[in-house]
Structures are given as structure tokens and as C-alpha cells.
Structure 1
Amino acid sequence: MSAIGGHTGKEAEPVELTEALERFEPWNEQEERDRAELLRRLRGGEELYSRENPAGHLTASAWVVSPDRTQVLMAYHNLYNSWAWLGGHADGERDLLSVSMREVREESGLTQVRPVSPAIYSVEILTVDGHEKRGVYVPSHLHLNVTYLLEADPAAPIRCKPDENSRVGWFSPEGAVAASSEPWFRERIYAKLNAKLNAKLARFS
């Protein structure tokens, strides 16, 4: 029986995330398949909110745009040696929208960031190669990621977070994709996020 339907002997999955994923409309086959896998794991009672599950855990990312949607905020991440979106681990927090906003504030120095919508903007399962972090080896694993569309003022002060990134900056949407040195992210994730943004803009034009 699923965590929604009754007691499983494990801590029940909060209805909010499961229902948000059920309401989420996949953009493409990648999102359809990744959403199905996220739901399967959540309904199965697997502990995903903390890094105690070494095989995979929940993360929240943000596609941060300017109010006029002409700019996207990126950070140059030390671990990946690439410009990338902002985000991080749930680390026990059950509200992943709050996680995404917290990570943006911590990684960019922005104090004012707000959701364009509380709904999930994108879903993706991301592979992370084994690496050293603060002198400790982290085995290869999966990030079970949800992305939110957030908004901030490009004129507001920003700064890097030296233990995670060396630069933070605003790009045009196309420039944000081109700045990444990770081909899979450029083609499968960032280009997709921009396509969704363009579709939203076209709907209201």
C-alpha cells in the first residue's frame, strides 16, 4: 500500500510533494519518465530527504529569472567547473520550494527572491559522479531533483559563496545555456527550461 493510502511501517510521505508531482504536467519524455520514477520511490516509502540514502536523495534547483524574463542567474560551481543553476540538497527539509529559495539566497547573496509560481517547474533525475568533498569521498549517486521558477531583481547585490562557487552572474537565457560547459545540461536541462519559459511568455503575449 502506498504512503498515501495507509500505514507502511515507515514515516509517511507528505501529501504535498506527491500530489505536486501528480499534478505536474511533463514537458517531454524525460520529465514523464523521471516523474514516474520519483513517484515510485516516494510511494515505496524510501527515505529520500536526507543524504543518509547514499544511492539517491532529493534536491531542489532554481531557474532564477528577472521580472522581464530577459535574464537568468547562474553560478560558477567549483565542483563541476561550470556555470550552472542554483540549488542544493533537501537535507531533511520537506518543503522543497523553500529549499530552492534558501539555496539561491545562500549561493548568490540575494535577499529578495520569490517564486513565480509555487508549482513545480521541472523534474529531472541527475547523475553525480563520485568525488571528494571537504576531504571525504562521496560515492556516485542520483539527485532526484525538482526545479522551481523563481524571480529576482538583477540590480540587487550578489556575491559568490567561496566554498561552493567562485562567481555569480546574470546572463541572457541563451547565454546561460551557452555558458555551461556540461553538454548534457545544456541540451537536456537548460535549453528545456528556456523553452518552457518561452512557452509561458507566448501564452500571455
Structure 2
Amino acid sequence: MGNKLQAILENYVPDGVQETSDLAYMKVLAKDDVHLTRASLTHFTASAFVLNEMHDKVLGIFHKIYNSWGFMGGHCDGESDLLFVAHKEAREESGLSALTALQECPISLEIGAVAPHTHRTRGYVSCHLHLNLTFLFEANEADALMINTDETRGVAWIPMDEFVEKSTEPEMRIIYEKIISRIKQRSFK
């Protein structure tokens, strides 16, 4: 069996011990489509890190579940094209219709634990793991934004140098620092 996720993972070049370890585990789980769904407590997700055209601001949302500012993203729900999932989630969570992927490969990948919580429609959600791939996008800062009131309490362009401190989740700050460092090291224009 082959899917787009397996191709992405095969071509991904890990940076550091964390990504090398996480990538090896993700490659094993990507062979079984059950991990593209929430039927497994270990499942793939895709996130969008959206920059403005000057690449000095990040589009953030205020997550209701985590009570924190962060990037956009969501579950694959059976879809193996995680770039597509990240693009779809960014549109749904921000209201933006025009988003440009700055590269087709992820800028980051990591495995993260999600604490048990109550979801507005699904009720109790057990502790589980997100096998997350983050993709980098660009959008026009002047385009109208929309708050997705089902999932968020806000959406805003945040100066890149302030984005990490807006997050109240220590485990996410590490990820945001990693992504921002990579953006600053590379040229995407």
C-alpha cells in the first residue's frame, strides 16, 4: 500500500534527534491507514504555519481547548495528502481563501501528546498522540479574517518575534521556536 503521506515521509530530511526518532516511528505507522483516522489513539494531523507576505508575522488562532494562541491544523480524517489537510484547516480556521504553500514538504514534524478533554460535539476525548506534520504557507495580511467560533476565540496576525510568548503551552513553544528558527535560516521568496 502506498499513499501520499508515505511519500512525504520517505522524502523528509529530519533535523536533529527529535525528528529522526519521530520520523522513524511515523514511517512505520503510515503503512496502516487506520492512523489517518481518529479510530486510532495514535493518528496523523497536519498543521499550517501561515506567514504574511513580509514574513514578519504569523497568523495565529486562540484555541478554545488549549486556551492558548497557536498555529492552525487538524485531523486527517482518512486523507493521506497532509499538505491538502493543512491548507483546508487553515482556510476553515481563519476564513482566508488565498493561501500559497511556500514548499511542498513539511517544515517540521513531531509527535505530541494530547491531554484528555471534552469536545463540543464528540464529548469525552481520551489522551492520545498526534503525529503532526507542519506546512508553511503565505497569505495576504490585508485579506479579511473570520473567527471560527466553534473552535477558536480569536484570529490575528502576530509579529513573528512575539508568537512563541503568546502560547501558554510549554510543549508547543518548543515547536514554534523550531519552526521560526528554520524560517529565519531559509529563504522562501
Q: TM-score range by the shorter chain?
A: over 0.9
Question: RCO higher in 1 or 2 (8 Å CA, sep ≥ 6)?
Answer: 2
Q: Contact (CA 8 Å) 2:33, 2:78: kept in 1 or not?
A: no
1:13 is displaced (CA, Å) by 3.6
Q: Are 2:87 and 1:111 equivalent residues in the alignment?
A: no
Aligned to 1:56: 42
| Residue equivalent to 2:14 | 26
Which amino acid in the other structure matches residue 36 of structure 2?
Y
- Give SS of 1:47's match: helix
Provide TM-score, normalisation by structure 1.
Answer: 0.87
Aligned counterpart for 1:158 among listed residues 121, 125, 145: 145
Correspondent of 2:128 among 130, 135, 141: 141
Report the Cα distance in structure 1 between the residues aligned to 2:43 and 2:105, rounded to whole angstroms. 20
Find the aligned partners of 2:118 and 2:83 in 1 and give their Cα distance.
28
| Match in the other structure for 2:165 | 178
Paired letter, 1:42: A
- CA deviations on 1:22-79 (whole Å, 9 max, x unpaired) are 2211122111111111012123x361111111x2111000110112211111000000
Contact 1:87 1:100 in 2 (8 A): yes
Task: Tell me, yes or no, if structure 1 residue 102 matches structure 2 residue 85.
Answer: no
Alpha-carbon contact 2:145-2:155 (below 8 Å) kept: yes
What residue is the counterpart of 2:29 in the other structure?
41
Counterparts of 1:142 and 1:46, CA distance in 2: 16
AA partner of residue 186 (structure 2) = K
Q: Which runs of 5+ in 2 are unaligned?
A: none
1:159–1:168 contact (8 Å) kept in structure 2: yes
State the TM-score, normalized to the length of structure 2: 0.94
Structure 1: stretches of 5+ with no match in the other structure: 1-11
Question: Hey, which bits of structure 1, 4+ residues long, moved more than 3 A?
Answer: none
**The one of 51, 55, 58 aligned to 1:69:** 55
Alignment correspondent of 1:196 = 182
The structure having more radius of gyration, on CA atoms, is 1
Residue type matched to 2:154 in 1? R
For residues 163-184 of structure 1, the C-alpha deviation after alignment (integer angstroms, 9 at most, x for no partner) is 1001000111121111001112
Q: RMSD between aligned alpha carbons?
A: 1.5
Q: CA deviation at 1:106?
A: 0.5
